[in-house]
Amino acid sequence: MMNKRDGQTRPDAGGPASCWSCRGPVDPRALFCHTCGSIQPSRPVDHFARLAVRRDYDLKTVDLERQYFGFQRRFHPDRFAAKSATEKAHSLQHATSLNEAYETLKSPLGRARYLLELLGRPVIEEDQTTSDPVLLAEALEMRQALAEAPDAAAVAAIAADAEAKIADCQTALAAAFVFYGTYPGDDQVAEIQCPVYGFYGGNDNRVNATIPDTETAMERLGKLYEPEIYAGAGHGFMRAGAEPDATPENRAAMEAGWERWLELLRGM
């Protein structure tokens, strides 16, 4: 039996579990039983835990790949060719869950969307479509031009036009959001191509001491930089503020930070 949504529908098994095969005790996180060696069922964990990477947007593709291929090797069908139907089913379930985790996290957009989902703040709907009449008319026009293109050169011209439009949109959309980051240095600031919005905790003196440097450099280069300092909050308040035992200041800063962030994203 395959259940792709396994990870999202059952509560996390935290306590001691027993092996389905030998009934011996087994760590709920173990992939294989330490007593009999049998493969254990795929557990309900999030995609980051599945690939044993930290729950973070800032992940390197090579690290994700290494984790994915490392785990995937352990569940290769060849290894289970001589095993029971139950073991084959478990290995397939692991492989499927790993694929889903990797497919979701490998692109920055997918990762951002999934992180927001985990935080209970989804911003992009799966089935989101446009009903903007201007955009639809433009798309129809381009499709028609493509259908009626007399030769390869005309098709190439349409493609170049579309690429230029995409590049325009990306430039217009781009913005950077920095959370309690220190001044990156003159060389890196010179490379910045988009507006930067900063989020800082009022008690984060080490970081905040470098805000004036960033302001000066960005102003000198004619670039937009808008820092916002949340009173009483500490370093890492977006994470700390979401904890059950968060201080009122961190919680308030986290909520205000989210509001501002979503507000800025909506305006783009």
Contacts with Zn ion, residue ranges (CB under 5 A): 19, 21-22, 24, 33, 35-36, 38
Query: CB of 24: closest distance to Zn ion in angstroms?
Result: 5
Task: Using the minimum distance from each CB to Zn ion, give the nearer residue, 87 or 213.
Answer: 87
Closest approach of Cβ 32 to Zn ion, in Å?
8
Residues 18, 37: contact at Cβ < 8 Å? no
Q: Is the Cβ of residue 24 or residue 77 nearer to Zn ion in the bound state? A: 24
Contacts of 71 (CB under 8 A, 6+ apart): 50, 51, 52, 94, 98
241 Ramachandran zone, left/alpha/beta (phi>0; psi -120 to 50): alpha
Helix (H) or strand (E) holding 229: strand 225-230
CB of 19 to Zn ion, least distance (A): 3
Residues, the chain: 268
Please report the sign of the dihedral spanned by the C-alpha atoms of residue 56, residue 226, residue 205, residue 257. Answer: negative
What span, in angstroms and rounded, lies between the C-alpha atoms of 117 and 242?
14
Least CB distance to Zn ion at residue 28 (A): 13
* 15 versus 267: smaller Cβ distance to Zn ion: 15
Distance, CA of 35 to CA of 74 (rounded, Å): 18
> Looking at beta carbons only, is 41 or 227 nearer to Zn ion?
41
Residue number with CB closer to Zn ion (18 or 107)? 18
CB of 30 to Zn ion, least distance (A): 10
